[in-house]
A and B are shown apart, each in its own frame.
Chain A
Amino acid sequence: MSNKVFVSGNEAVAIGVKLAKPNVIAAYPITPQTIVVERLAEMVERQELNAEYMYVESEHSALSAVMGASVLGARTFTATSSQGLLYMAEVMHYASGGRVPLVMMNANRSLALPWSIFGDQRDSLAMLDSGWIQVYVEDAQESLDMIIQSYALAEHKEVLTPVMVNLDGFVLTHTYEAIEVPEEEQVDKFLPSFELKGKMDLENPKNLFFSSSPADNIRFKVQQHQAIENSRKIIEKLDKQYGEITGRSYGGLAIGYRTEDADTLLVTLGSITGQVKDVVDVLRLQGEKVGVVKIRFMRPFPEKEILELCSNAAVIGVLEKDISFGYHGTVYTNVADALKNTNKKIFNFIGGLGGKNISQQDIKKIFRRLKNIDKDTSTVNFIGLEV
């Protein structure tokens, strides 16, 4: 049965969260995340959602609070963006090291200075090493569906790792789209209530989040790494199950669009993918063999998938909205490493910083440059700077 609604990306997240039936919600408002927490508060007010809604005084406290709630066996939700995410940075390592299965939405937004409320992906990519699973979605429908899938993933007994769902600020958080809302019974079937083995329990007390000596520390870190490695196959499995129940699935860690015979590929992350696909369709009509590789998960990183999807292409561009100052874009660094044993030419295109629009014209130019690569083309190319 279809239940279509016309909502923004933020609202799609809120609907996904409601369907996941969290016990505790704690969040601090920050643009462009705010609509998520506003909608959830309204749902609690209308008693559509039976959750404890905590009014916290900071992002640091929001994440700390949901950590405490989670180890009692509560399903939780929090959301943030930009400076708020960085303010949580310390707690993010606590949560992943403590193996707390949290789900958090991040509205991708630029970082100060210069102050900017607009979207790029420097915030979440700066937190790539925090031990969280990171997924980037393309549209409002995927936002809703990935929120639900993320709970199943975070809480999976072989994973027990927090998951961050990333939506591009404004472009996705504030744009309205028609989406299909799954039935409550469908979600319940996919996502049973949260049962945390080893939770804090009055009958069987636990001491958690402890210190460890140098002798033991690496063992815990290896287990943490292994848990994220485990998630590779579980992500695909869950997506398939979700697809069987709702009729919508997204594939694994990365997916290709018109990649089979493409000689030139552009690798993307997040909402820009849709626009690149449109450009690919246009260029295909002109006989150009171009395609897109959409990275869905930055952690675990889809090394194997990228190798496979890029196997027939000679030239690959990585288009991203971030930079690791003094080096490349972070996505490029990861993709280049995945392709290090191939003889493919790989180039980095950085744009959209501080919310600057990446136009179809810009994307066409990128493909044109990839088609006409010469010795002078530098590894890092900033787009949209032409007057």
Chain B
Amino acid sequence: MLNKLDKKEYFYGHKGCGGCGGSLAVRLALKVLGKNTFVVLPAGCMSAVGFVYPQLCFGVNALISPFASTAAMLSGIRAAANSLNIENCNVVGFAGDGGTADIGLQALSGAIDRGDKIIYICYDNEAYMNTGVQQSSLTPYGARTTTTPPGEHIHGSRNNKKDMFEIVAAHHIKYAATASIGNIPDYIRKVEKAKNTNGTSYIHIAAPCPTGWGIDSSETIDIAREAIECGLWYLAEYEDGKYKLNKDVKEFTSVRAHLKRQGRFKHLTDKDIEKIERQRDKHIKFIKERYI
């Protein structure tokens, strides 16, 4: 499958941190989508590291959109392509977790509602990383961020990660998937699927951020893979109104070991970890009942 990827690079020379999961998600998706692609990025890591004049890092047409309106700008591009008979092109957006689940949710909902033929990829690094690691609604419970300090009173994020995949699926979107930088062949297959979807498609890819997560830059892929193995992330699809779990993990690895590898969870107590395990079990039960 990897052999099918475009040999050309469409996202290079950017100023992303070493081991950045988000930039890998962008780079790989563009290798699947190829040169006939229009890209939209809202404010966020990828627009910050890739778009500083005169060092512009996209080899395809690319725009920065207002923070809240990635999906609306994608829709506008698609409408223009339809009107001007620009055929065989892909219209894709790459937004972070804050740009998707928080400020950009309204525009995303509108685009899915219209069924516009666009691809929306959320690279989820679980906080507002570009502004210096603040909590977003996709920051997991317990995580240390600069706005959820791990003290006595706040004690890390009190947030429970918003379920974007379910929110998107509830719109009866044409195609939605979760993915992970920890499973690149699966991600590439899903981008390919999104490319061939005649309607709106959404891919939510777990994309670790070494800076924000407190891990080594060499650990990005490994930690993402481990998240799937310990049950804190899952690979699934929603297509033709049906859910599908892509990988049914029979026996989970240690949640504790996974969390303790990361600086952002160092402060967690046994009680916290037990709570996260209980949340995982509940979520996995929900997924299995619904997706299998």
Contact = CB atoms under 8 A, between A and B. Distances in A.
B74 interface: yes
B66 A94 contact: yes
Contacts of B74: 68
A73 interface: yes
Contact of A212 (B36, B53, B57, B80): B53
Nearest to B68: A60
A74 B83 contact: yes
Contacts of A61: 68-69, 71-72, 75, 106-107, 110
A72 B87 CA distance: 13
Given A205-B35, A205-B61, A68 B80 contact: yes
Contact of B66 (A64, A72, A76): A64
Given A24-B79, A54-B79, A212-B52, A72 B113 contact: no
B45 to A, nearest CB: 12
Contacts of A73: 80, 84
Given A52-B83, A56-B110, A208-B62, 15 more contacts: A24-B79, A24-B80, A54-B79, A55-B114, A58-B110, A60-B68, A64-B66, A68-B80, A72-B84, A74-B79, A90-B66, A200-B38, A200-B77, A202-B36, A211-B47
B59 interface: yes
Contact of A72 (B47, B48, B80, B114): B80
Given A23-B83, A68-B74, A72-B77, A57 B64 contact: no
A26 B76 contact: yes
Contacts of B80: 23-24, 52, 68-70, 72-74, 76
Interface string B57-101: 111111111101101111111011111101001000000000000
Given A54-B114, A210-B51, A202 B86 contact: yes
Contacts of A52: 79-80, 82-83
Interface in A156-176: none
Interface string A335-374: 0000000000000000000000000000000000000000
With a 10 A CB-CB cut-off, give which of B51, B69, B86 has the most chain A CB atoms: B69
Contacts of B72: 56-57, 60-62, 64-65, 68
Nearest to B77: A68
Nearest to B55: A210
A213 B106 CA distance: 31
Nearest to B40: A68
A91 B69 contact: yes
A74 B83 CA distance: 8
A206 interface: yes
Contact of B65 (A23, A68, A201, A206): A68
A12 interface: no
Interface residues of A, number: 41
Binding site secondary structure of chain A: mixed
A67 B76 contact: yes
Contact of B51 (A23, A72, A211): A211
Contacts of A72: 38, 77, 80-81, 84, 86
B211 interface: no
B56 interface: yes
A207 interface: yes
A206 B53 CA distance: 12
B146 interface: no
Contacts of B197: none
Given A64-B66, A64-B107, A202-B35, A207 B76 contact: no
Contacts of B38: 72, 200
A381 B275 CA distance: 66
Contacts of A55: 114
A64 B52 contact: no
B109 interface: yes
With a 10 A CB-CB cut-off, give which of A71, A90, A208, A210 has the most chain B CB atoms: A210
A206 B39 CA distance: 10
Nearest to A91: B66
Contacts of A24: 76, 79-80, 83
B52 A69 contact: no
Contacts of B64: 208-211
Contacts of A66: 76
23 contacts: A23-B80, A23-B83, A26-B79, A52-B82, A55-B114, A56-B72, A57-B72, A57-B113, A62-B72, A64-B73, A68-B75, A69-B79, A69-B83, A72-B80, A202-B36, A205-B35, A207-B62, A209-B63, A211-B51, A211-B53, A212-B52, A212-B53, A216-B54
Interface string B108-143: 011001100000000000000000000000000000
Interface string A1-24: 000000000000000000000011
A265 interface: no
Contact of A58 (B79, B106, B113): B106
A52 B117 CA distance: 14
A112 B85 CA distance: 43
Contact of A65 (B54, B75, B86): B75
Contacts of B84: 23, 72-74
A170 B71 CA distance: 33
A216 B89 CA distance: 33
Contacts of B73: 64-65, 67-68
Contact of B63 (A51, A71, A90, A202): A71
A58 B52 contact: no
Contacts of B36: 202
Contact of A57 (B53, B77, B89, B107): B107
Contact of A209 (B48, B65, B86, B109): B65
Contacts of A201: 61
Interface in B208-225: none
Contacts of A208: 62-64
